[in-house]
Amino acid sequence: MNLQDLRSGISSLTKYNPDIDEDRVEVDAILNSILVELGVEQEWRFAQRTRKVNVKADQVFTGVTLVLSQNSITLPGTTDGNSEGMICEIRGSNGNDGEYEIVSRASSTEIYVKGLDGSTPSWSAATDVTVTIKHRYVIMPEDCAEVLGLEIRSYNDTRGKFSPITRSEDEDWQLDLDATGTPQGWVPAEDRFVPPPVTAPTLSINNSGVTHPVPTTGTYYVCYTYVWKDIESGPSPVAEIYATSATEEITVSGIQDTGTGSGIRKKIYVKVPGYRAFYASDNSVIDDDSTSLGGPIIIPGTWPVGQSRLHEGGGNWKAVRLYPRQDEDLQLSVRYLHRPRLLIEDTDIPELPPTNHRLLLFRAVEECLNRHESPELAAVWGRKADAQKDKMRLRELNTRARRVVRGNAFEDSSPDPFRTITYETP
């Protein structure tokens, strides 16, 4: 069932009318609230994802000069593109030694830093300084609700599984933050959070010298997010403008200036007539010190195919720390609990197995009846939803074990609920 089917099902069982905007918005909010809560409630098989994540070894630069009263560093070599948010250690300077957080990679050879306490340093002049960039943290994919496991499993047969270490164990054991080698474990780090912008963008219509006209007439909605080290915030307030002709183009200004060296860039999202979701425009990214797009919004003819949808995590991203820290570049396999995508477009389908769509429908009907109609009738649908959830637990929390018979592991394998998976070498 897609979102439109779910709305119709709720409408047939309650007094909600999906043709009324207020009812549609409320029903969509109920469905999405239930979907997200259900999707991350337990370690369902269908909700587990595995992704590859690259981690980098430390980078060491020698002979660095620190300029008086600055908080930037110009390095004699190229920094890794994922260095924002990592740790910069300074040694051999004149009173500047210590660890700092890299807040911005202004160029391939220039970084801006701040103190680990959030303060902005002001260098004492120094020469022949040693700077080490430590890739201490690993940022998880944007849809990660909980990390389940990390390992190395690559094409060149390098393998290794990491054991989880709790934060309390990390504190009790006083694990060395500077230990490097082949990682043996991982520690949950603090979630990364980027607050959203607080002001809406300013939109205007341009009719002369048009280079990127809008695809159709109608009302266009625009918002933007902050992006720091690929970590994206929630959206800004939304601005809207009406295009009276498909020969017009939309320009964007009035975007918050986040300051040179902050590393906080901005990303533009547009909702086009005929769609309900926001998608990134082709020229969506704006530098930290810019307040305008620098040109019209580019909406390609293939919209929204190939365009990223507005980030739905609200600015929260999971992160971990490897112990010991990697001493070479590695590609990790990360298994995590996936946060389901929200249902926004009419054709969106819940990221649940089709056999579990009825659970989402029944639970939404229960909530709608509880809100506005009959608690007694809601209890009936609640019991129906509970029965569906019991079936879902049996299907999605258990894996039937199999016995592998010598000689033909595929044709001769058979279900056996009393055995674990075993392998025998011919």
The answer to the question of residue 420 being in a domain is: no
Q: Which domain holds residue 213?
A: 202-316
Model pTM score: 0.85
- Is the same domain home to 30 and 92? no
The answer to the question of residue 353 being in a domain is: yes
The answer to the question of residue 413 being in a domain is: no
- Is the same domain home to 211 and 297? yes
Q: Return the structure tokens found at 52.
A: 């590859």
Q: Considering only CA atoms, which of 405, 359, 310 is closest in space to residue 34?
A: 359
- Is the same domain home to 212 and 295? yes
Judged by average pLDDT, the poorest of 19-23, 152-156, 299-303, 359-363 is: 152-156
The answer to the question of residue 402 being in a domain is: no
Segment 114-162, tens digit of pLDDT: 999 989 898 999 999 999 999 999 999 999 999 999 998 876 656 777 8
- Is the same domain home to 257 and 307? yes
Q: What pLDDT, on a 0 to 100 scale, did the predictor assign at position 413? A: 47
Q: What pLDDT, on a 0 to 100 scale, did the predictor assign at position 351? A: 93
Q: Return the structure tokens found at 194.
A: 């980027």
CA angle 143, 145, 149 (to 5 degrees): 100
The answer to the question of residue 77 being in a domain is: yes
Say how many domains are in the chain: 4
Segment 202-232, tens digit of pLDDT: 999 999 889 899 999 999 999 999 998 778 9
Residue with tokens 């010598």: 406
The torsion angles phi and psi of 112, rounded to 5 degrees, stand at -110, 140
- Is the same domain home to 128 and 277? no
Question: From CA 280, how far away is CA 76, in angstroms rounded?
Answer: 36
- Is the same domain home to 366 and 290? no
Residue range 312-319: mean pLDDT, rounded: 86
- Is the same domain home to 332 and 353? no
Segment 47-94, tens digit of pLDDT: 999 999 999 999 999 999 999 999 999 999 999 888 889 999 999 998
Question: From CA 270, how far away is CA 230, in angstroms rounded?
Answer: 19
The answer to the question of residue 423 being in a domain is: no
Helix H segments across 104-155? none
Q: CA of 385: how far to CAs of 44, 145, 279, in Å?
A: 17, 24, 34
- Is the same domain home to 207 and 269? yes
The answer to the question of residue 407 being in a domain is: no
Q: CA of 405: how far to CAs of 177, 344, 416, 418, in Å?
A: 47, 48, 12, 15
- Is the same domain home to 259 and 229? yes
Q: What pLDDT, on a 0 to 100 scale, did the predictor assign at position 156? A: 64
Q: What percent of the chain has pLDDT over 90?
A: 69
- Is the same domain home to 333 and 186? yes
Kind of pairing between the strands at 279-286 and 239-243 = unpaired
Q: What pLDDT, on a 0 to 100 scale, did the predictor assign at position 386? A: 95
Question: From CA 359, how far away is CA 364, in angstroms rounded?
Answer: 8
CA 121 from centre of chain: 30
Locate the DSSP E strands across 239-387.
Answer: 239-243, 249-253, 265-271, 279-286, 316-317, 319-323, 325-326, 330-338
Q: CA of 198: how far to CAs of 149, 238, 256, 366, in Å?
A: 36, 10, 8, 36
- Is the same domain home to 324 and 346? no
- Is the same domain home to 84 and 146? no
Q: What are 88's strand-pairing partners?
A: 100, 133
CATH number for the domain including 87? 2.40.30
The answer to the question of residue 325 being in a domain is: yes
